[in-house]
A and B are shown apart, each in its own frame.
Chain A
Amino acid sequence: MRKQIARAGSMPRGSQNWSFPAVFLLLVVCIASLTGEITPAAEESERFLQALRERGYLDLALDYIEQMRTSPLCPESFREVLDYEAGVLLIENSRLGGTLREKSLEQAKERLQQFIREKPTHSRVSEASFLLANVAVELAQLKKELAAQPGKTPEEKNKLLAEARQRFQEAQKAFETAERRAYERARTLEEEAKQNPRKEVERDDARRDLLRARLSLAGVIYEIGKLYPQSDPNYRAELNEAAKRFAELYEKYKDFTAGVYARLQEGRVRRDLGDPKAAIEIFKQVIALLQGVSGEERSVVNEAVHELIQSYILTKDFNSATALIDQWRDQVRPDEESSGEGLRVHLSAAQLFMAVAASQKPKTQEHTRAVARAREHLNFVTRFPGPLQREAGQLLSQQLFGGASDPSEPTDFATAKERGDTAWGSFVVFVGQLNAAPTPQERQKLQQQADQVRDEALRFYRLALAMRPNDLSPDEMNLLRFRMAYLYWSQQDYYRAAVLGEFLARNYPQNLLAKQAAEIAVKAYRILYAQSSAPREERDFETSRIEKLVTWMNSVWPKERETIEAYMMLLDTAVDNRDLAKAEAILGQIPEDSPRRAEAELRVGQGLWATFLLESSKESEVRPSAEQLAAYLQKARQLLEQGIGRMKSSFDESKPVEYTLAFSVLSLAGLLIENGQASDAVTWLEDPQIGSLVLVRKNDPAADRSNFRVETLKAALRAYVGTGQLEKAEGVMKELEVATSAGGDAAAAARLTQVYVGLARQLQESLRRLRQDNKLEEADRLMRGFELFLTQIKSRKEGNTFTSLNWVGETFYNLACSLEGGSPGEKAKSQEYYKNAADTYVGILRRIRESPDFAPANAATGIQLRLASCLSGLRKFEEAVKILLALLRQKETRIDVQVEAARTYQAWADAEGRAAFYTLAIVGGHEEKGRKLMWGWQGVARRVQPYPQYQSLFHEAWYNIALCRLNQAQRETEPKRSELLRQAELDIFRVYQLYPDLGGEATYARYDALLRRIQRLRGVRDAQGLQAFAQRGAPVGKSL
Chain B
Amino acid sequence: MKLRQYGWKCILQSVFPLGLLLPFLASAPFAWADTVRTLSASITGKVVEATSQKVIVDRGQGRIEEINPHLVDMIFFDDEPSVLRTAKMAVAAGRYEEALTALEKVQLPENATSLVRQELEFYRSFCKARLALGTSDPQSLEQASEGLSQFINQYQNSFHYWSACELLGDLLTARGDYASASQFYGRLSKATWPELQMRGLVALGRTQLAQKKFSEAAKAFDDALQIQATGPAADRAKTAATLGKARCLAERDEPDQAIAMVQEVIKNTPVEEASLLAEAYNTLGVAHRKAGRTKEAILAFLHTDLLYFSVATQHIEALDNLVSLFAQVGQRQRAEEVAKTLRERYKREPSG
Structural contact, B334 and A510, CB atoms closer than 8 A: yes
Question: If A64-B299, A67-B296, A509-B330 touch, does A42 touch B266 (CB 8 Å cutoff)?
Answer: yes
**Cβ–Cβ contact B267 & A48, under 8 A:** no
Report whether B299 and A67 are in contact in the complex, using a CB–CB cutoff of 8 Å: yes
In the complex, whether B135 has a CB less than 8 A from a CB of chain A is no
Interface membership of B187, Cβ < 8 A = no
State whether A508 touches B270 (Cβ < 8 A): no
Q: Is B307 an interface residue (CB 8 A)?
A: yes
Q: Which residues of A contact B330 (CB under 8 A)?
A: 509-510, 555-556
Which A residues touch B329, using CB under 8 A? 556
Kindly state the separation between the CA atoms of A627 and B295 in the bound complex, as whole angstroms. 48
Q: Which residues of A contact B271 (CB under 8 A)?
A: 40, 42, 44
Complex Cα–Cα for A509 and B335 (A) = 12
Which of A52-60, A131-139, A788-796 is the interface stretch? Answer: A52-60
Task: Tell me the nearest residue of chain B to A507, going by C-beta.
Answer: B332
Which residues from B are CB-within-8-Å of A507?
332
Answer whether residue B40 sits at the interface, using C-beta atoms and an 8 A cutoff. Answer: no
A508 near B333: Cβ-Cβ < 8 Å: yes
Q: Which residues of B contact A491 (CB under 8 A)?
A: none
Taking a contact as CB atoms under 8 Å apart, the answer to whether A474 and B267 are in contact is no
Q: Mark A592-627, 1 if CB is under 8 A from B, else 0.
A: 000000000000000000000000000000000000
**Smallest beta-carbon distance B167→chain A, Å:** 26
Q: How far is the CB of B151 from chain A (nearest CB, A)?
A: 35
Q: Which of A64, A73, A508, A511 contacts B267 (CB 8 A)?
A: A73
Residue B246 CB within 8 A of the other chain: no
On chain A, the number of residues with a Cβ less than 8 Å from chain B's Cβ atoms is 26
* Contact indicator A474/B333 (Cβ below 8 Å): yes
Contacts of A511 in B (CB 8 A): 333
B296 & A72 in contact (Cβ 8 Å cutoff): no
Instruction: Give Cα A510–Cα B307 distance, bound, in whole angstroms.
Output: 24
B270 neighbours in A (Cβ, 8 Å):
42
Q: How would residues 44 to 72 of chain A score, 1 for a CB under 8 Å from any chain B CB and 0 otherwise?
A: 10011001100101001001100100011
A616 to chain B, nearest CB (A): 45
B267 touches A57 (CB 8 A): no
**CB distance B267 to A509 under 8 Å?**
no
| Interchain CB contact (< 8 A) of A52 among B268, B295, B306 | B306
| Interchain CA distance A509-B330 in the complex, whole Å | 6
Q: How far is the CB of A785 from chain B (nearest CB, A)?
A: 60
When C-beta atoms are compared, the residue in chain A nearest to B273 turns out to be A42
Q: Is B303 an interface residue (CB 8 A)?
A: yes
Is the Cβ of B277 less than 8 Å from the Cβ of A42?
yes
Residues of A contacting B298 with CB < 8 Å?
60
Closest to A556 in B: B330
Flag whether B149 is at the interface (Cβ < 8 A): no
Known: A42-B268, A42-B271, A52-B306. A509 touches B263 (CB 8 A): no
Interface assignment of A41: CB less than 8 Å from any CB of chain B: yes
Residue A43 CB within 8 A of the other chain: yes
Contact pick for B332, options A40, A42, A509, CB 8 Å = A509
CB-CB contacts below 8 Å: B297-352 with A = 298-299, 302-303, 306-307, 329-334
CB pair B306 A55 closer than 8 Å: yes
> Which A residues lie within 8 Å of B267 (CB)?
41-43, 72-73
Query: Chain B 251-290 against A: per-residue CB contact (8 Å), 1 yes, 0 no?
Result: 0000000000001001111110000010000000000000
Contacting residues, chain B, for A51 (C-beta < 8 A): 302, 306-307
- Count chain B residues whose beta carbon lies closer than 8 angstroms to a beta carbon of A: 22
CB of B307 within 8 A of CB of A48, answer yes
In Å, the complex CA distance between A217 and B157 comes to: 77
> In angstroms, how far is the closest chain B Cβ from the Cβ of A66?
9
**Which of A44, A64, A67, A72 is in CB contact (< 8 Å) with B307?**
A44
* Chain B, range 218-277, C-beta contacts under 8 Å to A: 263, 266-271, 277
C-alpha spacing A71/B288, complex, angstroms = 14
Query: Which of B270, B298, B307, B331 is most buried by chain A, counting CB atoms within 10 A of its CB?
Result: B331
Complex Cα gap A474–B330 (Å): 16
B269 with A42: CB separation less than 8 A: yes
CB of A464, distance to nearest CB on chain B (Å): 21
Docked complex Cα distance between A470 and B271 (Å) = 42
Residue among B268, B277, B306 with most chain A CB within 10 A = B306
- Minimum C-beta distance from A268 to chain B (A): 42
B277 and A509 contacting across the interface, CB-CB below 8 Å: no
How near does chain B come to A563, taking the closest CB pair, in angstroms?
12
For the complex formed, measure the closest distance between the CB of B113 and the CB atoms of chain A, giving whole angstroms: 42
Scan A509-523; emit 1 where CB is below 8 A from any B CB, else 0. 111000000000000
Chain B residue numbers with a CB within 8 Å of A72 are 263, 267
Complex CA distance for A67 and B306, rounded to whole angstroms: 17
Give the distance to chain A from B44, nearest Cβ to Cβ, in Å: 31
Closest to A553 in B: B330
Contact of B299 with A60 in the complex, beta carbons under 8 Å: yes
> Which residues on B sit within 8 Å (CB–CB) of A508?
332-333
**B302 close to A57 (CB less than 8 A):** yes
Contact with B along A542-558 (1 / 0, CB 8 A): 00000000000001100
Minimum distance in angstroms from A41 CB to a CB of chain B:
7
CB distance from B327 to the nearest CB of A (A): 11
A572→B232 CA distance, assembly (Å): 69
CB-CB under 8 A for A60 and B333, given A44-B307, A67-B296, A72-B263: no
Most chain B beta-carbon contacts within 10 A, residue among A40, A42, A48: A42
CB neighbours (8 Å) of B306 from chain A are: 48, 51-52, 55
Which of chain A's residues has its CB closest to B329's CB?
A556
- A44 partner residues in chain B, CB cutoff 8 A: 271, 307
| With known contacts A48-B307, A72-B263, A60–B277 Cβ distance under 8 A | no
Closest A residue to B296 by beta carbon equals: A67
Q: Report whether A48 and B303 are in contact in the complex, using a CB–CB cutoff of 8 Å.
A: yes
Question: Do A63 and B333 have beta carbons less than 8 Å apart?
Answer: no
Q: Which B residues from 81 to 111 make CB contacts under 8 A with A?
A: none
Instruction: Report Cα–Cα, A130/B330, bound state, in Å.
Output: 37
In Å, the complex CA distance between A474 and B302 comes to 23
- State the CA gap A508–B332 with chains docked (Å): 6
Q: Are A510 and B333 in contact (CB under 8 A)?
A: yes
Distance between Cα atoms of A55 and B337 in the complex (Å): 11
**8 A Cβ contacts from A491-530 to B:** 507-511
Q: Which residues does chain B contribute within 8 Å of A67, judged by CB atoms?
A: 295-296, 299
Does the CB pair B332–A63 fall under 8 Å?
no
Task: Please give, as numbers and ranges, the residues of chain A lying within 8 Å of B266 by CB-CB distance.
Answer: 42-43, 73
Please, which residues of chain B bring their CB within 8 A of the CB of A60? Answer: 295, 298-299, 302
Query: CA–CA, A73 to B261, complex, Å?
Result: 12
Given A42-B270, A73-B267, A508-B333, A63:B307 Cβ within 8 A: no
B263 & A73 in contact (Cβ 8 Å cutoff): yes
A406–B207 alpha-carbon span in the complex (Å): 69
Residues of B within 8 A of A47 (CB): 307
Question: Shortest distance in angstroms between A536's beta carbon and chain B's nearest beta carbon?
Answer: 32
Bound-complex Cα distance A541 to B334 (A): 32
From residue A558, how far is it (CB to closest CB) to chain B in Å? Answer: 11
In whole Å, how far is A54's beta carbon from the nearest beta carbon of chain B? Answer: 8
Give complex CA distance A273, B303 in Å. Answer: 56
B331 touches A509 (CB 8 A): yes
Q: Which of A449-485 contact B (CB under 8 A)?
A: 474
In whole Å, how far is A58's beta carbon from the nearest beta carbon of chain B?
12
Asked if A52 and B333 make an inter-chain contact with CB atoms under 8 angstroms apart, the answer reads no
CB distance from B33 to the nearest CB of A (A): 35
- Measured CB to CB, the nearest residue on chain B to A555 is B330
Q: B299 contacts A63, CB within 8 Å?
A: yes
Contacts of A42 in B (CB 8 A): 266-271, 277
> Could you list 4 further interchain pairs (A-B, Cβ under 8 angstroms) beyond the known A51-B307, A509-B331?
A43-B266, A51-B306, A55-B306, A71-B263
Query: Can you list 5 A-B pairs with a CB-CB distance of less than 8 A?
Result: A40-B271, A41-B267, A42-B268, A72-B263, A555-B330
Nearest 7 interchain pairs by C-beta: A51-B306, A556-B330, A509-B330, A42-B266, A42-B269, A510-B331, A64-B299
Q: Which residues of B contact A (CB under 8 A)?
A: 263, 266-271, 277, 295-296, 298-299, 302-303, 306-307, 329-334
- A residues engaging B (CB < 8 A)? 40-44, 47-48, 51-52, 55, 57, 60, 63-64, 67, 71-73, 474, 507-511, 555-556
